[in-house]
């Protein structure tokens, strides 16, 4: 079976600029974020097509928020152009706020439904989210079941990721253990501050969420990270340069054997490149 890096290979966008670093950590700076979004959508499409040709499913780990929306828009465009079939795709989302119903305007489930799922032919039974509204004992069991569902699917082929301003991956806040799995977490004050505008019309920002753990994320066969805008420049520099450890969860990206980081020029401003 071909290595995933080979399966996902695609031409570099003409204006992208790779930064030389560790062989397994490929960092690309692009003039416009749309170049990165098209490149990653192309990689995902190639993976889906290759798996389907073998009668297999592509297992995708998906992120929410403003960072990946362009990737999802390009995947929808490819689908509507008849170039991408989601019938053999299975998805696992990174996280969800605690206590939100699926149709809550600020829930990640609603975000994904409106941004991607309702716009392609992804089977409803192939969509998975961490449990978000259960009492403690049931929640613990459901988190274990989420991990088991990922294993039963054969593991995640490609995981999309953004970078939190304080270095969190998914909702693995500073202090999260490298060995962590899907679980309930308390949101860092900086994270609550960042998401507060989303909840302004509804109620105060949630204090807790349920997130895929660092160990689960790092077990994905490929990690693809996006960061755009000047507000991400400091955390990009820290993630790439500071010591690897739990106080900076994003630093663990550097331990993965197949990771690409896609940046626009503003996000790359403090890398020295």
Non-local CB neighbours of 86 within 8 Å, separated by 6+ positions? 48, 79, 120, 121, 122, 123
Integer distance in angstroms from the first to the last C-alpha of the chain?
36
| pLDDT per position as a tens digit, 106-123 | 899 999 999 999 999 999
| Helices 69-80 and 108-115, axial angle in degrees (round to 10) | 40
| pLDDT per position as a tens digit, 39-55 | 999 999 999 999 999 99
* The predicted structure's pLDDT at residue 174: 97
Write out the chain's pLDDT in tens, 273 residues. 344 444 444 444 434 444 445 667 899 999 999 999 999 999 999 999 999 999 999 999 999 999 999 999 999 999 999 999 999 999 999 999 998 888 888 899 999 999 999 999 999 999 999 998 888 889 999 999 999 999 999 999 999 999 999 999 999 999 999 999 999 999 998 888 888 777 766 566 788 999 999 999 999 999 999 999 999 999 999 999 999 999 999 999 999 999 999 999 999 999 876
Q: What ranges in 54-188 are assigned the alpha helix state H?
A: 69-80, 108-115, 136-152
* The predicted structure's pLDDT at residue 136: 83
Q: For 211, how many CA atoms within 13 A lie in the half-sphere containing its CB?
A: 21
Based on the residue annotation, tell me whether 37 is a catalytic residue of this protein. Answer: no
From the candidates 93, 166, 172, 194, which is the catalytic residue?
166
* The predicted structure's pLDDT at residue 126: 98
* The predicted structure's pLDDT at residue 265: 97
Report which of 211, 261, 213 is spatially closest to residue 239, judged by C-alpha positions.
261
* The predicted structure's pLDDT at residue 24: 72
Residues 165 and 229: their CA atoms lie apart, in Å, by 11
* The predicted structure's pLDDT at residue 11: 41
Instruction: Provide the β-strand partners of residue 17.
Output: 29
Based on the residue annotation, tell me whether 35 is a catalytic residue of this protein. Answer: no
From the candidates 28, 79, 168, 256, which is the catalytic residue?
168
Based on the residue annotation, tell me whether 96 is a catalytic residue of this protein. Answer: no
| Helices 33-53 and 69-80, axial angle in degrees (round to 10) | 50
Residues 224 and 27: their CA atoms lie apart, in Å, by 10
Based on the residue annotation, tell me whether 173 is a catalytic residue of this protein. Answer: yes
Residues 98 and 208: their CA atoms lie apart, in Å, by 6
| pLDDT per position as a tens digit, 235-249 | 999 999 999 999 999
From the candidates 37, 90, 95, 96, which is the catalytic residue?
95
- CA-based max dimension of the chain: 52
Domains and CATH numbers, the chain: 17-264 (3.40.50.1360)
- pTM score, whole prediction: 0.90
From the candidates 173, 194, 260, 264, which is the catalytic residue?
173
* The predicted structure's pLDDT at residue 8: 46
């Amino acid at each position: 079976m071909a290595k995933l890096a080979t399966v996902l290979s695609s031409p570099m966008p003409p204006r992208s600029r790779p930064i030389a670093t560790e062989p397994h950590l490929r960092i690309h700076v692009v003039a416009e974020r749309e170049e990165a979004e098209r490149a990653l959508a192309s990689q995902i499409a190639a993976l889906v097509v290759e798996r389907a040709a073998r009668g297999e499913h592509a297992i995708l780990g998906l992120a929410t928020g403003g960072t990946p929306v362009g990737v999802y828009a390009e995947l929808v465009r490819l689908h509507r152009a008849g170039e991408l079939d989601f019938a053999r795709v299975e998805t696992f989302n990174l996280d969800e706020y605690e206590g939100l119903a699926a149709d809550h305007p600020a829930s990640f489930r609603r975000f994904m439904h409106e941004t991607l799922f309702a716009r392609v032919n992804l089977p409803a039974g192939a969509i998975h989210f961490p449990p978000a509204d259960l009492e403690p004992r049931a929640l613990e069991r459901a988190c274990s079941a989420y991990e088991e569902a990922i294993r039963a699917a054969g593991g995640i082929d490609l995981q999309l990721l953004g970078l939190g301003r304080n270095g969190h991956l998914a909702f693995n806040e500073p202090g999260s253990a490298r060995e962590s799995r899907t679980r309930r977490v308390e949101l860092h004050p900086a994270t609550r501050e960042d998401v507060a505008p989303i909840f302004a019309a509804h109620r105060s920002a949630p204090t807790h969420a349920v997130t895929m753990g660092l160990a689960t994320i790092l077990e994905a066969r490929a990690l693809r990270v996006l960061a755009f805008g000047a507000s991400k420049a400091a955390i990009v520099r820290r993630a790439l340069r500071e010591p690897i450890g739990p106080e900076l969860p994003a630093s663990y990206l550097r331990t993965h054997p197949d990771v690409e980081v896609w940046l626009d020029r503003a996000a790359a401003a403090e890398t020295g490149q």
